[in-house]
Amino acid sequence: MKKIHWLIVLLLAMAMVISACRGAAPSDGSAVVEEAPTAAEAEPQEEAVVEEAAEEPAEEVVEDLSAEADASGIGNVRVAIVMPSTISDVAWSQSMYDSLLRIQESAGGPDVMEIAYTENMFNVTDAAAAIRDYAADGYNIVIAHGTQYGTSLFEIAPDFPETSFAWGTATDVGTEQGLENVFAYEARAEEGGFVNGVLAANLSESGILGVVGPVEAGDAKLYIDGFVAGAKAANPDITVNVSYTGSFGDTALAAEAANTHIQAGADVLTGSAQQVVGAIGVASEKGVPWLGTQSDQSSIAPEIVVASQLYDWDGIVLDMIEKNQSGEYGGTAYALTLSNGGLVMEYADGLDADAVAAAEEAAGQIVAGTIDAMAAIEGTMPETPAAEESGELELPEIEPVRIALVMPSTISDLAWSESMYDSLLQLQEAYGGDVIEIAYTENMFNVTDAAAAIRDYADSGYNLVIAHGAQYGTSLFEIAPDFPDASFAWGTSTNTGSEEGVTNVFAYEPRAEQGGYVSGVLAAYLTKSGIIGLVGPVDAGDAKLHVDGFVAGVHDTNPDIDVNISFTGSFGDTALAAEAANTHVQAGADVLTGSSQQVAGAIGVAKEKGIPWIGIQADQSPLAPDIVVATVLYDWQPTLLTMITSQQAGNMGDQVLELTLENGGQKMIYSDSLPEEAVNAAKAAEQGIIDGSIEIVAEPR
């Protein structure tokens, strides 16, 4: 009895340790099966790095491959694959995994061909670790199934010259880097896109088509561009509405996008990436036909998935295996095309015969070469709503830097922590994962734990350790002097510790009263009842500044408006924040705002009651797109760049950095639904703050 006693105590201790040590990323668990993977399952958060647009096909020989791959002659082989999403994503990842399974069966089963896989590797660092592990474990072929893995892959490949690596969407096999063991592959998705476009144009009666896109890059962009070109070729008067959700996995948003398209009159829909599950759900509900790509999505909604462009990687996989076994470990760039059988068009039974005939004719012409899908795309510029980056960010040259982030909440908190993490990710995307390495620890609301994490990161050689919480100051000033070669950053604060002789701490503070002021002006224009509600966390830090600015903005516009402010006393009490919002609404408020991660509760109430919300810190509109009418977005990129360049020039700290409207640290985002007069007033306020003509005076509370 007593022995088991100790075992249980040990297990519990482990549970405590494991759950307390929140590492850099979710577990990778090779070949871990997801809990209840269903086609309708929501996918993990959007990939951090976008798939790059496919370049012109490389000079290497592009093999022509038959879709009927007979693998019975191959010898024993071990194949591993690392994927950004799941094997059940009915899209990108599943298409490759299904191919592997088919080859395995044709080869004679798992005894001949062993398959191992790791899913959900949207984080490049994790993926790189998985790729390296597989190679070290002796797998013959390691497939890095994501464009973002390229840089890491090129670092790993030289260490394993007798392992084949495969990489896609890509055309670069690394010859410039002297690599001989890398295969590259891509899907010329614009071909099937063109065919689907022709089909859709023929099926549509309303003359309006809807496209639910993920990110405007990679095979998604090719597919959609091809689709638009094909539709216009079949019917020049057709309207194709294209929207991008900005993510590969945002199922809810994809569903919303589908709804929007249908409401705009579309009677045929298409789209790509694993999030289409959401869109297909909506299409199924509304009886709108869906054209799919990448994988066969008809299992989700058999009646409405009327056509698909299937990615058949079988031929490529078999060719790679055969080459690998004959000693040729890489050097070939493959493409899936209609003519080599890598892209297969499938049509549902009972589909309008004329439409299918037109589509097959188009497919035939692409194969024969009489239609060039890429040229057709260049001829027709698709009407995509501009996904613009407001303001250009200057990217100076920097050396590789390792950055660690310690946060009091989570990277998905829709507020303080998420804003900093997102900015870090954007910088990493701009410079590449080999220049900027990121590590983070979440939920460090306990200062002692945070201090330990900060010290550990500094000990492990991180160049810049960001202590992202006002409460971390005292501990930070004790740690910083022990690591003179590292830089630390601390916020919200204006104290760099110089009085205590600390020289390697950057302090940062969002001048939240600026964004608050502009929000206040906006809110003053929006309110009809003359009462505005503010759900605050704690009357300190950037929350306090925000409130100060907001009230000033409201009263400078109209001194008779009541701004009711309540503080919940916590940053994370979601339930209380919801109650606070309710209270405000009952007190007559018809515009709401607030800060910190608990606003998720308040936004829920605002959504229920139809009250507009003005957000701050991060973009909360995914939670309630119609309700979040404006956001003061914290963009930490300029601040981070200043810290990095400063440090690399030898200036380790001792600077106070601010997020302001002027330096681009705060950006106002306005929804299209706002009245013009209000937006103009808000923009005028922005200008006034920037040029100094507006002075923000905090009212006493």
Partner 1 sequence: MRELTILAIVLGVIHSGIRLATPYLYAALGETFAQKSGVLNLGVEGIMLMGAFSGFYTVFVTGNLWFGLLAAAVIGALFGLLMSVVSVTFQAEQGISGIGLYMLGLGLSSLLFKTTLGTVEGVKGFSELHFCLSSLGINSDLCLAEVPVIGQIFFSHSILTYGAFALVPISAWIFNKTNWGLSVRSVGQNPEAADTLGVSVNGTRYAAVILGGILAGIAGASLSISLLNIFQENMTNGMGFIAVALVYFGSWTPVGVLIGALLFSTVNALQLWVQVLDLNLPSDVAVMLPYLLTIVALALPFRRAEQPAALTKPYERGEN
Give residues 118-137 in contact with partner 1 (rule: CB under 8 A). 120
46 vs 98, which CB is nearer to partner 1?
46
Binding-site member from 168, 330, 342, 536 for partner 1 (CB under 8 A): 536
Exposure of 560 in the CB half-sphere (CA atoms within 13 A): 5
* Amino acid residing at 500: E
37 vs 364, which CB is nearer to partner 1?
37
Work out how close the CB of 542 gets to partner 1 at its nearest, in angstroms, rounded to a whole number.
Answer: 16
1 vs 649, which CB is nearer to partner 1?
1
**What is the rounded CA–CA span in Å between residue 238 and residue 249?**
29
Site for partner 1 in 19-78 (CB under 8 A): 19-20, 22, 26-27, 34-36, 38, 40-46
Site for partner 1 in 211-230 (CB under 8 A): none
85 vs 487, which CB is nearer to partner 1?
85
**What is the rounded CA–CA span in Å between residue 642 and residue 333?**
40
Site for partner 1 in 558-577 (CB under 8 A): 562, 564-570, 572-576
Site for partner 1 in 11-30 (CB under 8 A): 12-13, 15-16, 18-20, 22, 26-27
List phi, psi (to 5°) of 578.
-60, -45
Q: Which stretch binds partner 1 (CB under 8 A): 105-113, 315-323, 349-357, 527-535?
A: 527-535
Residue 481-510 contact track with partner 1, rule CB under 8 A, x = bound? ------------------------------
17 vs 353, which CB is nearer to partner 1?
17
Residue 230-249 contact track with partner 1, rule CB under 8 A, x = bound? -------------------x
297 vs 487, which CB is nearer to partner 1?
297
CA distances from 699 to 46, 513, 549, 551 (A): 41, 12, 9, 7
**What is the rounded CA–CA span in Å between residue 675 and residue 199?**
40
Per the structure block, which two tokens stand in for 542? 């950037």
Per the structure block, which two tokens stand in for 232? 């216009």
Residue 577-616 contact track with partner 1, rule CB under 8 A, x = bound? -xxx-xxx-xxx--------xx-xx--x--xx--------
3-state secondary structure of 269: strand
CA 280 to chain centre: 21
Per the structure block, which two tokens stand in for 275? 């999030």
CB 261 within 8 A of CB 255: no
Site for partner 1 in 179-208 (CB under 8 A): none
Site for partner 1 in 249-268 (CB under 8 A): 249-250, 252
Work out how close the CB of 490 gets to partner 1 at its nearest, in angstroms, rounded to a whole number.
Answer: 23
**What is the rounded CA–CA span in Å between residue 151 and residue 135?**
16
Q: Which stretch binds partner 1 (CB under 8 A): 405-413, 465-473, 629-637, 662-670?
A: 405-413
Asked if 426 is part of the footprint of partner 1 (rule: CB under 8 A), the reply reads no
25 vs 173, which CB is nearer to partner 1?
25
Exposure of 519 in the CB half-sphere (CA atoms within 13 A): 37
Q: Which stretch binds partner 1 (CB under 8 A): 162-170, 201-209, 469-477, 557-565?
A: 557-565
CB 117 within 8 A of CB 80: yes
27 vs 448, which CB is nearer to partner 1?
27
Number of residues that bind partner 1 (CB under 8 A): 74
Sheet holding 77-82, edge to edge: 113-118, 77-82, 141-144, 164-168, 182-187, 333-336
19 vs 370, which CB is nearer to partner 1?
19
Work out how close the CB of 107 gets to partner 1 at its nearest, in angstroms, rounded to a whole number.
Answer: 32
* Amino acid residing at 545: L
The Cβ of residue 493 has, within 10 Å, a number of other Cβ atoms equal to 21
Phi-psi category of 416—alpha, beta or left, where left has phi over 0 and alpha has psi -120 to 50?
Answer: alpha
Work out how close the CB of 597 gets to partner 1 at its nearest, in angstroms, rounded to a whole number.
Answer: 7
CB 373 within 8 A of CB 223: no
**What is the rounded CA–CA span in Å between residue 191 and residue 336?**
10
CB 612 within 8 A of CB 629: yes
58 vs 531, which CB is nearer to partner 1?
531
172 vs 513, which CB is nearer to partner 1?
513
